[in-house]
Structure 1
Amino acid sequence: MSNSIVYSLVIAVFIYITTGNAYAASTTEQNFTADLLRQLPSDEILELSASQQIFISLQRERMTSYTKGTIIFLPDASEHAASPKHIDMLRQQLTYYGWYTLALMPPALPLTLEQDTLTDYQQIIAERMSAAQQQAQQHSGATIVIAQGSSAAILNQLFATARLTEPAAFIMLGAFLPDQKLNQDMAKALATHHVPTLDISHEQDNSWVTSQLPLRRQLANKYMKAVYRQRLINGSGYSDTSQQWVLQEIYGWLSSVGL
């Protein structure tokens, strides 16, 4: 790990603490960051900045002679940029299919999802994603987004309200928010934005995920969403077998939409 990266991240943590930002100053995020800095090679660590605050992301170069583009990963708020629930495997394996991958550190979810805190959280997500999209512009090809859990639900709203540049495709892994009304809003946002979407979930996902699948499908039909596929996978997102299945689902679907 280079001294410059370590130094700048120490300064970033100091800024997080002194500014009192409840999301960026999350102890969980600090701990995740420290763990990843210790465990991963320095060439995978990429610093990005949003609202003058530094956060880390994990990059991996394509392993093919051809270039398809960039995949941006945004894990669930309870996970980290190398989450063992799909994200770490996908960010590594998809480089063998021609993709440059960039996995972001997600901000911590606020303790209460009231309108003000949710709006502030959406802004933090939008700023981190915008920084990632700027990084993706340095690479040729399409940009797609794979998001997990609460992060996927938030991105749906941001795409539907045009607060983020739409990617070429959007893949959700177990998308949900821990509130019935917010989940219903997410289902409508999913049905009304125009981003081609693959909606993957597992039988062992929590009830917030599985209970909303019929509504998402119904609204996608109602609003005639052009490209939407829903897949329910056996097992959990931590199973090696399930992860390989999801990898093949993603590869097959991207191929079907020309990516």
Structure 2
Amino acid sequence: MKHHILLLMISLSNTATFAASVDHTPPIDLSELQAIDIKHYVQDREINVLTLDESEYLTLMKEETTGFPRGIAFIVPEINQSIIQQPAIKMLYDNLTEYGWRSLLLTMPNIEQTNGSFNNVQKTDNQSASSASENDQQQEADSSLQSNTGSNSSSENDSETVREPNLRLKAYHQDDIFSSKTNAEIEEQILKRVESAWQYAEQFPGYFIFICQGKSCAWLTSLFQQQKLMQPDALIMLSAHMPQQDLNDQFAQQLSETEFPVLELFKQIDNRWVSSSIQYRRKLARKHYKTDYRQRKLNSHIAFGNNNMRTVKEIYGFLTAVGM
């Protein structure tokens, strides 16, 4: 029996030593995984690595195929998605070169969305519970006082029992996704990528236009409006929106205050945040006399990539109309 116990102890000791000696390899970062896929499927001559503040950013570049270059088209895709999975972005990157534009496709950071208002909501709920408890205690005291004094003012008791309405139950309410801190951090990461791309593109002649999709349009517009970036010659937006009411309204306000031409493309059946803000952005643009703002609806129900040449021709027509 003692022999078996000794063997068991030796075996457990060896197992523990082996487990301690094994190195734990953390899972690969999603951005690195997407970069590996891009390098595998894209031709080497299109891959371009940019650096800024000791950080490296992967971009793709395709040269114009016309004799007269028009300029650089900075393509800013949606965050948290591989550029390979965004057909509109890939389609514009491939086809704008035939119209004289050098395409520079940026890769965006992968950021986990968090509920920025969760702690605030918890705090509000606790405060409500605390105030309700205080009200109950006050009501009991008032009730005792009234019984001693013989007061019969029931109307005052009824008014004291009124609770504040739960505003979180309002129609169309949705908890915030991005806190102010998270929103600023994402803007900062996009700023660094665009700055490095801008510095690289200064060696090429022509106009500088930006094409963005989804939430990236809001952060990009904010950076332009705050003058943290040089002003582009034009901005083209695809299904631009923020999935949060206050940020969506802020986006519309900032967009109406920009001084460069803006073309907004949206689908007939689009994201509800896009559909709900199209008219509001149009009204703000009119209010601020932004005469170089255009909206165009495309009859595509799934993605802009399905309306391949229509999307490109809308962009080409708009740029021609504003002198590019």
Tell me the TM-score normalized by structure 2.
Answer: 0.70
Secondary structure at the aligned position of 1:246 is classed as helix
Residue 116 of structure 1 and its aligned partner are, at CA, apart by 0.9
Given the superposition, is the C-alpha separation of residues 118 and 45 from structure 1 closer, same or farther in structure 2, using an over 3 Å criterion? same
Structure 1: state its 5+ residue gaps: 1-16, 19-24
Output aligned runs, 1:6-85, within 5 Å: 27-85=29-87
d(CA) in 2 for partners of 1:115 and 1:226?
Answer: 31
Where does residue 212 of structure 2 map in the other structure? 147
Where does residue 3 of structure 2 map in the other structure? none
Given the superposition, is the C-alpha separation of residues 134 and 223 from structure 1 closer, same or farther in structure 2, using an over 3 Å criterion? same
Given the superposition, is the C-alpha separation of residues 120 and 92 from structure 1 closer, same or farther in structure 2, using an over 3 Å criterion? same
From 184, 189, 200, the equivalent of 1:135 is: 200
Residue 193 of structure 1 and its aligned partner are, at CA, apart by 1.1
Deviates further, 47-56 or 100-109:
47-56
Check the 8 A contact 2:65/2:97 in 1, yes or no: yes
d(CA) in 1 for partners of 2:317 and 2:263?
Answer: 11
**Structure 2 counterpart of 1:201, which letter?**
F
Quick check: which has more Rg, 1 or 2?
2
Indicate yes or no: 2:91 matched with 1:89: yes
Indicate yes or no: 2:284 matched with 1:227: no
d(CA) in 2 for partners of 1:115 and 1:84?
Answer: 27
**Structure 1 counterpart of 2:271, which letter?**
N
Indicate yes or no: 2:273 matched with 1:218: no
d(CA) in 1 for partners of 2:202 and 2:303?
Answer: 32
Check the 8 A contact 1:75/1:83 in 2, yes or no: no
Where does residue 113 of structure 2 map in the other structure? 111
Check the 8 A contact 1:204/1:236 in 2, yes or no: yes
Deviations 1:197-229 (A, max 9, x none): 001111232101111101100000001113100
Residue 41 of structure 1 and its aligned partner are, at CA, apart by 0.6
Relative to total residues, which structure has the larger helix share, 1 or 2?
A: 2
Given the superposition, is the C-alpha separation of residues 239 and 198 from structure 1 closer, same or farther in structure 2, using an over 3 Å criterion? closer
Secondary structure at the aligned position of 2:109 is classed as coil
Indicate yes or no: 2:178 matched with 1:176: no
Secondary structure at the aligned position of 2:83 is classed as coil
Indicate yes or no: 2:158 matched with 1:156: no
Deviates further, 44-53 or 60-69:
44-53
Given the superposition, is the C-alpha separation of residues 214 and 109 from structure 1 closer, same or farther in structure 2, using an over 3 Å criterion? farther
**Structure 2 counterpart of 1:234, which letter?**
N
From 225, 249, 252, the equivalent of 2:317 is: 252
Indicate yes or no: 2:267 matched with 1:202: yes
Given the superposition, is the C-alpha separation of residues 130 and 70 from structure 1 closer, same or farther in structure 2, using an over 3 Å criterion? same
**Structure 2 counterpart of 1:37, which letter?**
K
Question: What do you get for the CA RMSD once the two structures are aligned?
Answer: 1.9
d(CA) in 1 for partners of 2:186 and 2:305?
Answer: 32
Residue 240 of structure 1 and its aligned partner are, at CA, apart by 4.7
Given the superposition, is the C-alpha separation of residues 183 and 26 from structure 1 closer, same or farther in structure 2, using an over 3 Å criterion? farther
Secondary structure at the aligned position of 2:103 is classed as strand
Residue 82 of structure 1 and its aligned partner are, at CA, apart by 4.1
**Structure 2 counterpart of 1:202, which letter?**
K
Given the superposition, is the C-alpha separation of residues 104 and 122 from structure 1 closer, same or farther in structure 2, using an over 3 Å criterion? same
Deviations 1:139-194 (A, max 9, x none): 00111000110111111111111111111000001111110110000000100011
Q: Percent identity, please.
A: 32
d(CA) in 2 for partners of 1:257 and 1:239?
Answer: 23
From 92, 97, 101, the equivalent of 1:99 is: 101
**Structure 1 counterpart of 2:226, which letter?**
T
Check the 8 A contact 1:153/1:186 in 2, yes or no: yes
Given the superposition, is the C-alpha separation of residues 240 and 193 from structure 1 closer, same or farther in structure 2, using an over 3 Å criterion? closer
Given the superposition, is the C-alpha separation of residues 133 and 83 from structure 1 closer, same or farther in structure 2, using an over 3 Å criterion? farther
Tell me the TM-score normalized by structure 1.
Answer: 0.86
Where does residue 256 of structure 2 map in the other structure? 191
